[in-house]
Amino acid sequence: MSEIEITVKYNRIMETLQERTVAEVVTENIKAAHIFKKYGIDFCCGGGVSIKRACEKANVDASLLEQEILNLEKSQDRASNYNSWKLDFLSDHIVNVHHHYVEESSPLLLQYAKRVNQVHGGHYTELAEIEKLVIELVQEMASHQRKEELILFPFIKRLVRAKEENSEKPQSHFGSVESPIKMMEEEHDEAGSIMRKISELSGGYTPPQGACNTYRAFYSKLHEFEEDLHHHIHLENNILFPKALELERSF
């Protein structure tokens, strides 16, 4: 292949990649999430836009980001190839890993938020607002996860089972699975919005110089919580929910 042909082929690949959505790329290779995260591009709630548009909004050089995506290792670890998992298995994974993480982390976040605000709120007035937002986030996530575990996920599992058994589409009080999915996506947007406000108020989870260990631990935990939330929402918005809708339409 000549140098000109190689250049033309490369340019076509880059043009095609630019038009693909952020969510599509992350769905195919979860490792791409780390690249988007590095450049400050939302890959979960805001993942429905093209890479080109996302780069424009974030004022990022698209060619640099795209090159990093192209350089990602082609082979994926089966354990992280979520797009190939059965929906009932993926639902259980979300509950056992991400829901459990939220339940385990929430009491600690509440304790940190209260303690740090009590001790340092006089000097850092943003801590009072951060504590309010943490309380709101914890309550939002608890309610959200209960609805998924008691209503949405069991119905998705019934759809999977019915398809495997070649039986009729299961019925529910909410009609189509589209209804609870829409509600869950709206709640994802709300949780993401709360998390962004906390990030802005905390300067990207950067504690002030000379901050005590509790202060530093609080911001570190918030950062960890945000990363898990982004992964959590990605698995649902970009993989589980679209496939559940497709499965229901297949009956």
* Measured distance CA(43)–CA(232) in Å, rounded: 11
* Measured distance CA(196)–CA(101) in Å, rounded: 19
Q: Is 137 exposed, middle or buried (0-12, 13-18, 19+ CB in 10 A)?
A: buried
Q: Which two three-digit tokens encode residue 67?
A: 């090159």
Residues β-bridged to residue 21:
50
My answer on whether 54 and 157 are in the same domain is: no
My answer on whether 45 and 160 are in the same domain is: no
How many domains would you assign to the chain? Answer: 2
My answer on whether 34 and 120 are in the same domain is: no
Q: Which residue bears the tokens 């192209």?
A: 70
Between 58 and 128, name the one with better pLDDT. 128
Q: What is the pLDDT of residue 160?
A: 96
My answer on whether 153 and 94 are in the same domain is: yes
My answer on whether 153 and 223 are in the same domain is: yes
* Measured distance CA(190)–CA(196) in Å, rounded: 10
Query: In sequence order, what are the residues at sequence separation of 6 or more whose Cβ sits closer than 8 angstroms to the Cβ of residue 25?
Result: 17, 32, 51, 69
Each residue of 88-103: pLDDT tens digit? 999 999 999 999 999 9
Integer CA distances (angstroms), 115 to 125, 156, 175, 199, in order: 14, 41, 45, 19
My answer on whether 54 and 34 are in the same domain is: yes
Q: What is the pLDDT of residue 73?
A: 52
Query: In sequence order, what are the residues at sequence separation of 6 or more whose Cβ sits closer than 8 angstroms to the Cβ of residue 224?
Result: 105
Residue span of the structural domain in which 166 resides? 85-249
My answer on whether 12 and 135 are in the same domain is: no
Between 40 and 118, name the one with better pLDDT. 118
My answer on whether 137 and 220 are in the same domain is: yes
My answer on whether 168 and 137 are in the same domain is: yes
My answer on whether 59 and 178 are in the same domain is: no
My answer on whether 71 and 97 are in the same domain is: no
Residues β-bridged to residue 155:
none
Q: What is the pLDDT of residue 81?
A: 80
Q: Which three-class secondary structure state does DSSP give residue 198?
A: helix
* Measured distance CA(156)–CA(186) in Å, rounded: 19
Is-contact 103 148, C-beta < 8 A? no
Q: Of 80, 110, 145, which residue is a domain's last?
A: 80
My answer on whether 170 and 65 are in the same domain is: no
Confidence of residue 243 (pLDDT cuts 50, 70, 90): very high
Q: Of 41, 59, 80, which residue is a domain's last?
A: 80
Q: Of 38, 54, 80, which residue is a domain's last?
A: 80
Instruction: Say what percent of the chain tops pLDDT 90.
Output: 61
Mean pLDDT is lowest, of 54-68, 72-86, 91-105, 215-229, for 72-86
Mean pLDDT is lowest, of 38-42, 112-116, 130-134, 139-143, for 38-42
